Chains A and B, each alone.
Chain A
Amino acid sequence: MSVIELEGVVKRYQSGEEVIEALKGVDFHADRGEMVTVIGPSGSGKSTMLNMIGLLDTPTEGTVRLDGRDVTDFTEDQLTEERRSTIGFVFQAFHLLPMLTATENVELPSMWDTKRDRHDRAVDLLQRVGLGDRLSHTPSQLSGGQQQRVAIARALINEPEILLADEPTGNLDQDTGRTILEELTRLKEEENIAIVAVTHDEQFVEYTDRVVRLVDGEVQS
Chain B
Amino acid sequence: MSITDALWRFPSVQMAWRNLGRNRVRTALATLGIVIGVVAIASLGIAGVALQQQATANLGTLADEVTVTAGEDSTTEGVTEEQVEEIRSLAGDAAVVPKKSNRTTLTSRDGQEARVSVTALTEASALYDVSTGDNPDRLQSGALLTNSTATQLGLEIGDPVEYDGRLYRIRGLIESQSGFGGGGNELVLPLSALADQRYYDSVTIVAPNGREAQRIADAIEARFNEGDEEVLSVTSFASVQENIDAFLNTLNLALIGIGSISLVVASVAILNVMLMSTIERRGEIGVLRAVGIRRGEVLRMILAEAAFLGVIGGVVGAAVSFAVGLVVFQVLAGDPTLVFGWESIRYLLIGFGFAVFASVLSGLYPAWKAANDPPVEALRG
Q: Which positions 60-114 of chain A face chain B at CB distance < 8 Å?
A: 76-77, 80-81, 83-85, 87-89, 91, 95, 97-100, 108-109, 111-112, 114
Q: Is the CB of A114 within 8 A of B292?
A: no
- Residues of chain A lying within 8 A (CB to CB) of residue B290: 54, 56, 83, 89
The closest CB in chain A to the CB of B292 belongs to A84
Our count of residue pairs bridging A and B at CB distance below 8 angstroms stands at 66
Chain B residues whose CB sits within 8 angstroms of the CB of A97 once the complex forms: 18, 284, 287
Beta-carbon contact of A77 and B295 below 8 Å: yes
Stretch among B9-17, B98-106, B191-199, B305-313 lining the A interface: B9-17
A57 close to B (CB within 8 Å): yes
Q: In the complex, which of the residues B9, B12, B376 contacts A56, with contact meaning CB atoms closer than 8 Å?
A: B376
**Distance A172 CA – B288 CA, assembled complex (angstroms):** 23
Mark B338-381 against chain A: 1 for CB-CB distance below 8 A, else 0. Answer: 00000000000000000000000000000000000011100100
Query: Hey, which chain A residues are within 8 Å of B14, CB to CB?
Result: 111
| In the complex, chain A residues whose CB is within 8 Å of the CB of B25 | none
What is the CA–CA distance of A108 and B287 in the complex, to the nearest angstrom? 10
Docked complex Cα distance between A21 and B67 (Å) = 94
B283 within 8 A of A: yes
User: Which residues of chain B have C-beta atoms less than 8 A from A149's C-beta?
Assistant: none
Contact of B12 among A83, A85, A112, A158 (CB under 8 A): A112
The answer to whether A108 touches B295, judged by C-beta atoms less than 8 angstroms apart, is: no
Contact (Cβ within 8 A) A112 B287: no
A51 within 8 A of B: yes
Q: Is there contact, CB below 8 Å, between B292 and A83? A: yes
Decide: A98 and B22 in contact? CB cutoff 8 A.
Answer: yes
Within 8 A of A (CB), among B292-312: 292-295, 297
List, in ascending order, chain B residues with CB within 8 A of A114's CB. Answer: 9, 11
Minimum Cβ distance to chain A for residue B11 (Å) = 5
Alpha-carbon gap, A122 to B22, bound state (A): 24
A109–B298 CA distance with the chains assembled, in angstroms: 12
CB distance from A22 to the nearest CB of B (A): 12
Known contacts A98-B22, A100-B18, A111-B11; decide if A81 and B287 are in contact (CB<8 Å).
no
Interface hub of B12, B290, B293, B297 (most chain A Cβ within 10 A): B290
Which B residue's beta carbon lies closest to that of A100? B18
Q: Which chain B residues numbered 1 to 36 have a C-beta less than 8 Å away from chain A?
A: 9, 11-12, 14-15, 18-19, 21-22
CB of B122, distance to nearest CB on chain A (Å):
77
Known A97-B284, A112-B11: A85·B294 in contact at CB below 8 Å? no
Given contacts A95-B284, A95-B287, A99-B19, contact A81 B292 (CB under 8 A): yes
Q: Which residues of A sit under 8 angstroms from B15, Cβ to Cβ?
A: 111
| Chain B, interface residues (CB within 8 Å), range | 20 to 34
Instruction: Decide yes or no whether B291 CB sits under 8 A from chain A.
Output: yes
Contact A109 B291 (CB under 8 A): yes
How many residues on chain A are close to B (CB under 8 Å)?
28
Cβ of B291 to closest chain A Cβ, rounded Å: 4
Chain A residues contacting B287 (CB-CB under 8 Å) are: 89, 91, 95, 97
Contacting residues of chain B (154-176) with chain A, CB-CB under 8 angstroms: none
Within 260-290 of B, Cβ neighbours of A (below 8 Å) are at 283-284, 287-290
Instruction: Please tell me if A188 contacts chain B, counting CB pairs below 8 Å.
Output: no
Given known contacts A97-B284, A112-B11, A83 and B376 CB-to-CB distance under 8 angstroms: no
User: Which of B21, B283, B376 is A57 in contact with, Cβ under 8 Å?
Assistant: B376
> What residues of chain A lie closer than 8 Å to B21, measured between beta carbons?
99
In angstroms, how far is the closest chain A Cβ from the Cβ of B286?
Answer: 8
Residues on B with C-beta less than 8 A from A112 are: 11-12, 293-294, 297
Chain B residue nearest to A107 (CB atoms) is B11
- Which residues on B sit within 8 Å (CB–CB) of A46? none
Are B379 and A83 within 8 A (Cβ)?
no
Interface pair B283/A95, CB less than 8 Å apart: yes
Nearest residue, chain B, Cβ from A99:
B18
User: By CB atoms of chain B within 10 A, which of A51, A77, A80, A98 has the most?
Assistant: A80
The answer for the CA separation of A180 and B293 in the assembled complex, in Å, is 26
- Residues in B with CB closer than 8 Å to A76 are 295, 374
Interface residues of A in 96-148 (CB under 8 A from B): 97-100, 108-109, 111-112, 114
CA distance A80 to B21 in the complex (A): 28
The 9 residue pairs across chains A and B that have the minimum distance between CB atoms: A84-B292, A109-B291, A99-B18, A95-B287, A83-B292, A111-B11, A112-B297, A57-B376, A112-B11
* Additional A-B contacts beyond A56-B379, A109-B292 (10; CB < 8 A): A56-B375, A80-B292, A89-B290, A95-B284, A97-B284, A97-B287, A108-B293, A109-B291, A111-B14, A111-B15
